Amino acid sequence: MKNDIIEIRWHGRGGQGAVTSAELTALAAIHEGKYAQAFPSFGPERRGAPVLAFNRIRTDRAVRERSGIIKPDIVVVIDPGLVSLINVTDGLKPGGTLIVNSARSVEDLQQDFSGDWKLAVVDAASIAKKLLGVNIVNTTMLGALIKATEVIDCDSLREPLEERFGARAKSNFEACKQAAENTVISEITPSGDKRPRSFAVEKLPKWNELPVGCVVTDVGNTKAFCTGNWKSQHPEWLDSKCIKCGICSIFCPEGCIKQQKDGFFRADLFYCKGCGICARECWTQAIKMVEEA
């Protein structure tokens, strides 16, 4: 390893276990006799919202830095949908590694990025579904991290996993190993003809532009806030089965399912967080949850 300190940034969604991944990585590194840190980025993050977690790993001495990580060596993207939402390569050092969970191929995904980086792609979702039975890929992505960067050894994960998951540690470890085998790595080169993507940034008044007392006079202005990018699945209606009872609309925590002019219901995907209540509660099973691409 060239650098004496390795910094990792994890991109996930609240509830997907990005923080757990970071903790496990740190524990495994400590198990190997290295020095490590794991910490999440705090904000009003909720289940489904994009979240960040970080790692610092050092071999020579204890990690004394306590600041946030701006220029990581490694970026791990746990949720495939985040690639098109957030600039995941922000601050990634030249020669760094980008690890993405995606069902797309390396060749396809390469088109999205431009920089002097290594790209590792693994379809962790299908591995996790097969071995763990759920689409929670945090431990599976550890395998990809090990394969792509070798910051930690696979075997040193065994003990932290057992402590954390108990009886379920074995299947998690298997998923981790299989992900390591299935990770495809390629190089990306910086190319001038690719347009840098632009990501929408919220335009909000600053504290000193608000009336005295920080009174918000613009009622219901969270309507401009897109919570739709939190979801990993979205509902689809089968109108032939629908009896227009409206149960879906009353049980929607977002209040985003509205009746259309023809009497059928649709969710506003700008707000839908993909909880799946509507599909679960529909009497006639006219709603189906479909995975986000």
Partner 1 sequence: METLSVYVPKLVTNKEYIASGHRACSGCGEVLALRYVCKALGRNTIISNATGCMEIISSPLPETAWEVSWIHTLFENAAAVASGIESGLKALKRKHGYIKDVKVVAMGGDGATADIGLQALSGALERGHDFIYVCFDNEAYMNTGIQRSSETPFGASTTTAPSGKVSMGQHTWKKNMAAIAAAHNIPYVATSCSSYPFDIMYKIEKARKVKGPSYIHILSVCPTGWRCPSSDTIKMGRLAVETGVFPLYEIENGEYKMNFDYPKLRPVEDYLTAQGRFRHLTKEQIAEIQQKVIVEYEKIKMLSSRKKGK
Instruction: Give whole-number Cα distances, 211 to 110, 173, 216, 217, 222, in Å.
Output: 48, 55, 8, 8, 18
Among 91, 95, 190, 253, binds partner 1 (CB under 8 A): 253
Q: Which of 104, 103, 182, 88 is nearest to 144 (CA)?
A: 182
Asked if 292 is part of the footprint of partner 1 (rule: CB under 8 A), the reply reads: no
- The residue among 34 and 231 lying less far from partner 1, judged by its C-beta, is 231
Which one of residues 1, 224, 238, 290 is an interface residue with partner 1 (CB under 8 A)?
224
H-helix or E-strand containing 100? strand 97-101
Q: Is 268 in the site for partner 1 (CB under 8 A)?
A: yes
Q: Where does this chain touch partner 1 (CB under 8 A) — which range of 47-55, 80-88, 154-162, 178-186?
A: 47-55
Q: How far apart are CA 3 and CA 72, in angstroms?
A: 12
Question: Is residue 40 near partner 1 by the rule CB under 8 A?
Answer: no
Q: How far is the CB of 213 from partner 1 (least distance, A)?
A: 11
User: Quick one: 14 or 85, whose CB is closer to partner 1?
Assistant: 14
Smallest gap from Cβ 12 to partner 1, in A, equals: 14
Is residue 58 within 8 A of residue 34, CB to CB? The reply is yes
Q: What is the dihedral of CA 259, 265, 266, 268, to 10 degrees?
A: 30
DSSP state of 225: S
Tell me the closest approach of the beta carbon of residue 15 to partner 1, in angstroms. 7
Binding of residue 81 to partner 1 (CB under 8 A): no
Residue carrying the six token digits 């699945």: 233
Q: CA-CA distance, 270 to 268, in Å (whole number)?
A: 5
Binding status of residue 273 toward partner 1 by CB under 8 A? yes
Rounded Cα distance between 135 and 82, Å, is 16
Instruction: Please tell me whether residue 250 binds partner 1 under the rule CB under 8 A.
Output: yes
Count CA atoms closer than 13 A to 22's CA, side-chain side.
Answer: 27
User: What does the alpha-carbon distance between residue 90 and residue 82 come to, in Å, rounded to a whole number?
Assistant: 13
**Which residue number, 189 or 222, has a Cβ lying nearer to partner 1?**
222
Which residue lies nearer to partner 1 by CB, 1 or 250? 250
Does residue 238 touch partner 1 according to CB under 8 A? no
**Contact pick of 70, 167, 200, 219 for partner 1 (by CB under 8 A):** 219
Positions that interact with partner 1 (CB under 8 A)? 14-15, 44, 46-49, 204-207, 210, 214, 216, 218-227, 230-231, 243-247, 249-256, 258-259, 263, 268, 270-271, 273-277, 279-281, 289
